[in-house]
Amino acid sequence: MALAFDEFGRPFIILREQEKKSRLRGLDAQKANIAAGKAVARILRTSLGPKGMDKMLQSPDGDVTISAHLLRCLFLFPHVPLCLRSLRLLLLCLLKLLHCELPANDGATILEQMDVDNQIAKLMVELSRSQDYEIGDGTTGVVVMAGALLEQAEKLLERGIHPIRVAEGYEMASRVAFEHLEQISNKFEFSADNIEPLVQTCMTTLSSKIVNRCKRSLAEIAVKAVLAVADLERKDVNLDLIKVEGKVGGKLEDTELIYGIVVDKDMSHPQMPKRIEDAKIAILTCPFEPPKPKTKHKVDIDTVEKFQTLREQEQKYFDEMVQKCKAGIVREKSFGTTKDRMLYIEKCANSRAVTIFIRGDTNCCYVGNKMMIEETKRSLHDALCVARNLIRNNSIVYGGGSAEISCSIAVETAADRHPGVEQYAIRSFADALDAVPLALAENSGLPPIDTLTAVKAQQVKENNPHCGIDCNDVGTNDMKEQNVFETLIGKQQQILLATQVVKMILKIDDVISPSEY
C-alpha cells in the first residue's frame, strides 16, 4: 500500500494488489480445482440412494437443518412399537426446539444450503441446479458422477497426460455412454385413457416422502394436472401452467386439482352472489383500457352531439374488449369454521392453466402446517417432473446403478478401439461410471467392491443390463423386477452435464485469487 497525490494535491492510496494476489498455475491449478470439486462430491456421495445418509446443516444464525431422510423415517413408520414411538415424539420435540427446517433430501437442496465460497464448488452447485431445472431428479447422482470423473482425471494428470487429452477422451466416452443408454432403454407404455402406469410411477416417487400417506391421491392429481396442460402430440408439457398453491388448515386429503385458478381473495361485498356462471372476467397485470394513440392528436368538439358520439364510440370499444373476455365459473369457497375464503375461477375457455390447491394438516402435531405445505409442494414438484419427463420421452432405463454398470462395460470395450492416448481417459471414464453403484452399495451397508464385481460379472454373463444394487435387500438385483427405473433423458442429462463440468474444470490452468487484506 502506498500513499500518492494527484495533480491537484489530493491524496489517494495505491494498493499493490497484483503483487499480493495468490496465483496457481498449470498442474497445481488443476489439482486445487479438482480437490475442491471432489470435496463437494464427497459430501453428497453418502446421501445417494434409498439408504442415503442425512446431513445436518447449521445456518450462520444458528438454525439447524436436517435433511429429510431422518425425519422421513420418523413419519413413515407409524406402526413402530409404542416405546419407539415415544422416542420418535421425543426426537421430534428436540428437532422443533432446534428450529429444524424440513427440506427435501436432494442434492440440490443440500448444496443450496451449504453456502459454498469456492468458485469450483459453486460450479458443482450449479451442476446440481441445472439437473434439477432440466429434469427435476438425479441431482445427487450428477454430482457424484462429476466427482468420480475428477478423481480419475487427477490420476491421469499425475501420469503426465495432458488435460486436453483427458477432456477429449471424456467427451468420446460420454458419447458412447449416451448412445448405449438409448440401446438399453425400454418404452414405458401409457396413454391418456390408461394413466395408471403414470400414477404408479408418481406414487413410487412420493412413497419416500413425508406425504406418503396420501400418495395415491396426490399422484393422481399430479398426473391429471400434467395431462391437462400437456400437448400429447407434440410431447410437450409446460409446467408453468400448473400453479401449486397452499393454504394452511384442513387435511392433506382435501388437496384438490382445480381446472382453473385460485385467488386468495373473497367477493368484495357480502351481498354479491357467491357463484357466477358464464362470468366475464379478466385478470390483468396491465391497464384495461382502449389503447391510446402514440402520436398527439387534436379533436375539436364544439357541439354536445359530437361529444356524445365520441363517448359512445369509446364505450363501444370498451364493450367489445369486455365481450372478448371469456371466463367460465367464478365461485367463492369458504373453509370450515375459519373465515377464510378463496375465489375459484374455473372452466375458462382460453386458458389451460390448472392449480393444485394443497391443504396442509399436521401429519402429527409436531410438524407445522406451513412446513407440511412446503414439503408437499416439493414432493409434488418431483412427481410433476417425473410425469412430464415420461410424456416428453417415455423411454426409461433401470436404476440401482444398473444403467451405469452397463455403460461402464460398453465404454471399457470402446476404449480398446482407440489406439491413441485418449484410451486411458476413456477407460477412466468407465471406472468413474462405477462410482454410482459403488456409492449405492456402500450406503446400503454392502461391501462395495465385492458387490459391484459380482453384479458386473452377472451383467456380462447373463447379458442383462438390468442387474443393479439390491439396496433394499429385496432378494433380487434385477431392477426390472424391482420396478426401479429412471427416465432415459434424466440419465443421459446426468452424463452430459457431469462431463461438461469436468471438462470445464480441467481446462482452467491459472487461478488468480484476490489478495487478503
Which positions touch ligand ADP (CB under 6 A)? 47-50, 52, 106-107, 137-141, 399-401, 436, 440, 469, 471-472, 484, 486
Q: Rounded to the nearest whole angstrom, what is the least distance from the CB of residue 178 to ligand ADP in the complex?
A: 17
Strands 395-398 and 260-263, sheet pairing: unpaired
Using alpha carbons, list the distances in angstroms from residue 177 to 117, 136, 209, 337: 33, 21, 31, 58
How far is 317 from 310, CA to CA, in rounded Å?
11
Parallel, antiparallel or unpaired: strands 275-277 and 329-334 = antiparallel
When the beta carbons of 197 and 328 are compared against ligand ADP, the nearer one is 197
The least CB distance from residue 401 to ligand ADP, in Å, is 6
| Nearest residue (CB) to ligand ADP, 30 versus 185 | 185
**Which residue is nearest to ligand ADP, using beta carbons?**
399
Q: Considering the complex, what minimum distance in angstroms separates the CB of residue 467 from ligand ADP?
A: 11
* Cβ contact 497:142 at 8 Å: yes
| Encoded amino acid at 320, one letter | E
Q: Provide, rounded to whole angstroms, the least separation between the CB of residue 47 and ligand ADP.
A: 6
* Closer of 334 and 472 to ligand ADP (Cβ): 472
Cβ atoms within 10 Å, residue 332: 16
- Closer CB to ligand ADP, 308 or 472, in the complex: 472
Q: What nine digits make up the cell of 355?
A: 392449480
Question: What contacts 113, CB < 8 A, 6 or more positions away?
Answer: 57, 59, 65, 103
What residue type is assigned to position 95 of the chain?
A: L
Place of cell 401409457: 190
Grid coordinates 458412447 are at which residue?
A: 176
For residues 394 and 192, what is the distance between their CA atoms, to the nearest angstrom? 13
Query: Measured from the CB of residue 146, what is the shortest distance to ligand ADP in angstroms?
Result: 12
Residue 104 CB, shortest distance to ligand ADP, in Å, is 9
CB 253, min distance to ligand ADP, A: 26
Q: Identify the H or E element spanning 485.
A: strand 485-487
Residue (111 or 173) nearer to ligand ADP, CB: 111
d(CA 411, CA 359): 49
Residue 477 Cβ vs ligand ADP, minimum distance, rounded to whole Å: 9
Of 51, 55, 36, which Cα lies nearest the Cα of 439?
Answer: 51
Tell me how long the chain is: 517
Nearer to ligand ADP, 262 or 502 (CB): 502
Nearer of residues 38 and 209 to ligand ADP, judged by Cβ: 209
Torsion over CA: 121, 125, 126, 127 (sign): positive
CB 200 → ligand ADP: shortest distance, Å? 14
Q: Would you say 205 or 355 has its CB closer to ligand ADP? A: 205
Kindly state the smallest distance separating residue 471's Cβ from ligand ADP, in Å.
4
Nearer of residues 45 and 247 to ligand ADP, judged by Cβ = 45
Q: Name the DSSP letter for residue 53.
A: P
Query: Is the CB of 252 or the CB of 467 nearer to ligand ADP?
Result: 467
Name the residue nearer to ligand ADP (CB basis): 260 or 399. Answer: 399
**Closest separation between CB of residue 183 and ligand ADP, Å?**
18
Helix segments in 274-340, DSSP class H = 304-324
DSSP one-letter code for 240: G
Neighbours of 469 (CB within 10 A): 31
Q: Which element (helix H / strand E) includes 443?
A: helix 435-443
- For 5, phi then psi, to 5°, come to -125, 140
The set of cell numbers assigned to 274 is 357467491
- H/E run at residue 134: helix 119-134
